[in-house]
Structure 1
Amino acid sequence: MDAILLGLNEIATFDVIVAIIIGALIGVTIGSIPGLEPAGVMAILLPISFSMEPLAGVSLLLGVYGGAWYGGAIPAILLNTPGTPVAVLTTYDGYPMAKRGEARRALSIAYTSSFVGGLISVFSLVMLAPTLSQIARKFGSAEFAMLAALGMVFVVLAHRKHVIEAAMMLGLGIFLGTIGLNLSYSTQVYTFGQSWLLSGIPLVPAVIGLFAMSQAFILLSQRGNDAQVTKLTGSGIFSGVFDLLKHKVTVIRSAALGVVMGLLPGVGEFGSQFFSYTLAQKFSKTPEQFGNGAPEGLIATETSNNAVTGSVMVPLLAFGIPADALMAMMLAVFMVHNYIPGPTLFVERPEFISGLYISLLLMNLVAFTYLTFATKWIVNLTRIRGRFIGAFILVLGFIGSYSQNFQFSDCLIALGFAVFGYVLKRNNIPAVPIVLGLVLGPLFLARTQQALGVAGGDITIFLQRPISLTLFIMILLSIGVYAWSQHRESKKEKHQQ
């Protein structure tokens, strides 16, 4: 109770409240505009969050992150175009419902499902993060090295159809993370005598270039006309509440899957939506309706989607390990303000942790309320031309890159990553592993060096400690399961031929 009161006191400031509201509204707006992604906008806002109070800065990014998943349902349902990448499955049943005159009902189901999933994700964060942080107290260098390795393996395997490409991009990210001054030996690594590389590849320009400015290039290269939006027809905007009450089992199952998937690095929203939708169809009494406007399908995708938003923070808060590129940005905010995620954060800053829980709760409430009463105006955002948005993002990207260190070299780094990110997107090569390699790579290398130093160079140190051994076995099992599934798929294809 004391921690909750401390959290309320921490959050009851003008800066934090405004950050929550603005973050949620920006997130919903971004999700409503096809072609924009929360990662790009979060990257642009990252330098701004550094100048804010710690909780306000984190709340701003969390608002964008969570609000975007709410807003992404609008173009998915009305345009058959996902507003965010994870809203693809929302189009399967949302758009058919809108076409048959049930657009309001479909949007209501999406909003309510997202709200329920968001609430459950917050409660999961409250329950799981402190417990896992106690386990993290038993971690040494060997355990953290294996945990970072497990995270990188999960990130690669999560891109099932692009595993080779993802592994290559992860390797590139790890390599980029080694550039700079090696403090252990006071030597320069891959700087080629350039003083601006002594501090390494800065995360903020890299993220802005890969996610924001590369997307701007995509939008600028498209020929865009005003979109044709399906009209808002059907029953009231609160009608979705009754659909959720009718399909309570689907809601609970999808939320549980979202929470579990959020704990696994690299899996997140995509994995949770796929499994939730598949199970909902399997256990449905009318599976033939899925893909043709089944409310159950819409409930499953939107509930699991938002159930990830809280649980994805558990590895970050408990272990200091970001589960995806968005959490890597959160980690940057923590580190700038000298708030080191891990077990000590729960002891030293309990008011910050409690304030974080409450801000997530308020973010969901703001996004749900805003969408419930302002949908008829938000729909107009889907008509904004892509080229105009692209030009605006490009300008903001350069400003954001320069504003952190006020160095022109950061703008050039962002531009280089933007061009590279554009090439990756055009060829469907994942860019997320680069960022996680840039963040987790140095952590893995540093912890491995520490562990080997303590063990006198004995590499079996990773097998001698129970927790690191368990994590190592999990790595082997993950790779083994993936290899077996690929083998089965190849045999199946041969039989079909």
Structure 2
Amino acid sequence: MDAILLGLNEVATLNVIMAIIIGALIGVTIGSIPGLEPAGVMAILLPMTFAMEPLPGVSLLLGVYGGAWYGGAIPAILMNTPGTPVAVLTTYDGYPMAKRGEARRALSIAYTSSFVGGLISVFSLITLAPMLSQIARKFGSAEFAMLAALGMIFVVLAHRKHVVEAAMMLGLGIFLGTIGLDLSYSTQVYTFGQSWLLSGIPLVPAVIGLFAMSQAFILLSQRGNDARETTLSGSGFFSGVFDLLRHKITVIRSAALGVVMGLLPGVGEFGSQFFSYTLAQRFSKTPEKFGDGAPEGLIASETSNNAVTASVMIPLLAFGIPADALMAMLLAVFMVHNYIPGPTLFVERPEFISGLYVSLLLMNVVVFTYLTFATKWIVNLTRIRGRFIGAFILVLGFIGSYSQNYQFSDCLIALGFAIFGYVLKRNEIPAVPIILGLVLGPLFLTRTQQALGIAGGDLTIFLQRPVSLTLFIMIILSISIYVWSQIHQRRAESQ
């Protein structure tokens, strides 16, 4: 309770409140337009946040992040087209409900489920982040090296159908992270005599290119008029509350799964949605209705993916380890303002942490209120043509890339990543491991060098400390379980 009161004092400024509102509205808009992704727009806004105070800057990006997951349900339910990638399962039951004239009820269920999941996620952050930060205080270089390695392994294994491709992209990201000036030995690494590479591959242009500008190329390549007509049917934007009360167990189970999955790097919304939906169907009294307009399926999907939004920040705040590309962007904001995520942040900046808690709570309230009363106007966003959006994003991408350091080379880097990202999207190869490799790779290498330096080059340093040994065992178990599951699956397919 003390943290909430302290946070209210931090948030009670015009800058923070406006950042929350603007971020939430932008996020809902992004989610409502099929083809746009929050990662791309967050990447474009990232350079702008560097000129802001830390709390307003982070609140703006979190508003976009959280609001997009809410808004993604609108086209998923009305058009059978996910507004965000994580809204795929929302189409399974949301669209059939809309087809039989219950669109308003389906949207109400989605909004209410998202709101409840979001609140539970924030309270899990308030509870777990300080506890885990106390554990992180006992970490040394060996522990952080193993934690970074575990995070990278989870990111790769989370792409179950594209593990080899994800591993290759992670390796590419780690390689890119080594480019620049090695301060340990004062030598240039893979710069090829180019002075603009001395500081390494900048994160912001890379993120803008991979996620924003590559998506702009996808939208620009679309042919014909891709605008869609949508209509609202049914009545009662508050009926979803009663549906959640009838399925309380599904809500609690889905929210709990979302919180847990948010702690695992690379798993996030996709894993939580899949498991929540599967369990909801398994324990339902009417499993045959799933996929044909079952409110339980819609509740499980929307509750679980929004329960991830705050819990995914726990590894970042407690350990300084981003769980996905979006958290890597937040890490960039932290670092620019010299706010180093980890256990010391809770001691040195308790007011910032508390303000972050309250900002997340207010973000959910703002988005839920806005959607409840403004959906009839928001649905018009689904009619905007993709090519217009693509051209707009491309221009903003170049502006955002240039505005960080005012260097033309950053624009060229963003363009290179955009072309590469476009190729990856066309071939369904995951791009997220590149960014996490770019962020976690240098962290892993630096911490490994420090650990080996302390141990005099003895590799068993990672096995001599209980926490690092536990993390190492988790890495081996994760890889072993994946290999065993693949062998078992191939045997089953061959029979």
Query: Common fold, TM-score beyond 0.5?
Result: yes
Q: One-letter code of the match for 2:413?
A: I
User: Which residue of structure 1 aligns with residue 135 of structure 2?
Assistant: 135
In structure 1, the partner of 2:43 is 43
What is the deviation of 1:97? 0.3
Extract unaligned runs of 5+ from structure 1.
Answer: none
Name the aligned partner's letter for residue 205 of structure 2: P
Q: Return the offset for 1:3.
A: 3.7
Amino acid at match of 2:72: G
Question: Deviation at 1:226?
Answer: 4.8
Aligned twin of 1:110: 110
Amino acid at match of 1:81: T
The residue that corresponds to 2:375 in the other structure is 375
Whole-angstrom distance in 2 between the partners of 1:361 and 1:255: 16
- 1:24 equivalent in alignment to 2:29: no
> Are 1:12 and 2:7 an aligned pair?
no
Does residue 469 of the first structure (1) align with residue 469 of the second (2)? yes
How many correspondences in the alignment?
495
Aligned counterparts of 1:2 and 1:221: Cα–Cα separation in 2: 52
Question: Paired residue for 2:436?
Answer: 436
Using the alignment, how far apart are the partners of 1:82 and 1:420 within structure 2? 24
Q: Deviations over 1:437-470 (max 9, x none)?
A: 0000000000000000000000000000000000
Q: Write the distance in 1 (CA, Å) between the matches of 2:6 and 2:345.
A: 15
Shift, 1:227, TM fit:
3.5
The question of 1:144 aligning with 2:144 is answered yes
After superposition, the Cα gap between the structure-2 partners of 1:480 and 1:411, relative to the gap in structure 1 and judged at 3 Å, is: same
Tell me whether 1:242 sits opposite 2:212 in the alignment: no
1:310 equivalenced with 2:343 (yes/no): no
Aligned to 2:121: 121
Aligned counterpart, 2:262:
262
Query: Shift in Å at residue 230 of structure 1?
Result: 4.1
Q: Which residue of 2 aligns with 1:273?
A: 273
| Aligned equivalents of 2:87, 2:153: Cα separation in 1 | 25
Code of the residue aligned with 1:449 in structure 2: it is Q
Structure 2 unaligned blocks of 5 or more: none
What is the letter of the counterpart of residue 356 of structure 2? L
User: Counterpart in 2 of 1:328?
Assistant: 328
Deviations 1:198-240 (A, max 9, x none): 0000000000000000000000000242533342111211011
Kindly report which structure 2 residues correspond to 1:382-421, keeping only aligned pairs within 5 A, or say none: 382-421=382-421
In structure 1, the partner of 2:231 is 231
Q: 2:227, 2:386 within 8 Å by CA — same for their partners in 1?
A: no
Q: Deviations over 1:250-307 (max 9, x none)?
A: 0000000000000000000000000000000000000000000000000000000100
Residue 12 of structure 1: CA displacement?
A: 0.8
Counterpart of 2:488 in structure 1 is 488
**Distance of aligned partners of 1:187 and 1:423 in 2 relative to their CA distance in 1, 3 Å threshold:** same
- Partners of 1:126 and 1:6 in 2: how far apart? 13
Deviates more, 1:224-233 or 1:4-13: 224-233
Identity of aligned residues (%): 89
Query: Which deviations, in whole Å up to 9, do the C-alpha atoms of 1:404-442 show, x marking residues without a partner?
Result: 000000000000000000000000000000000000000
Tell me whether 1:338 sits opposite 2:309 in the alignment: no
- TM-score (norm. length: structure 1): 0.99
What amino acid is aligned across from residue 247 of structure 1 in structure 2? H
Residue 110 of structure 1 deviates from its aligned partner by 0.2
Counterpart CA distance in 2 for 1:157 and 1:3 is 36
Shift of 1:473: 0.2
Specify the alignment match of 1:294 in structure 2: 294
Distance (Å, rounded) in 2 between the aligned partners of 1:311 and 1:212 = 25
Matched residues in 2 for 1:2 and 1:472: separation?
37
Q: Do 1:224 and 1:385's aligned partners in 2 also have CA atoms closer than 8 Å?
A: no
Tell me, yes or no, if structure 1 residue 169 matches structure 2 residue 172. Answer: no
- The aligned amino acid for 2:214 is S
SS of the equivalent of 1:36 reads coil
User: What are the equivalent positions in structure 2 for 1:25-104 lying under 5 Å apart?
Assistant: 25-104=25-104
Of the structure 1 ranges 485-494 and 160-169, higher mean CA displacement relative to structure 2 is found in 485-494
SS of 2:188 mapped into structure 1: strand
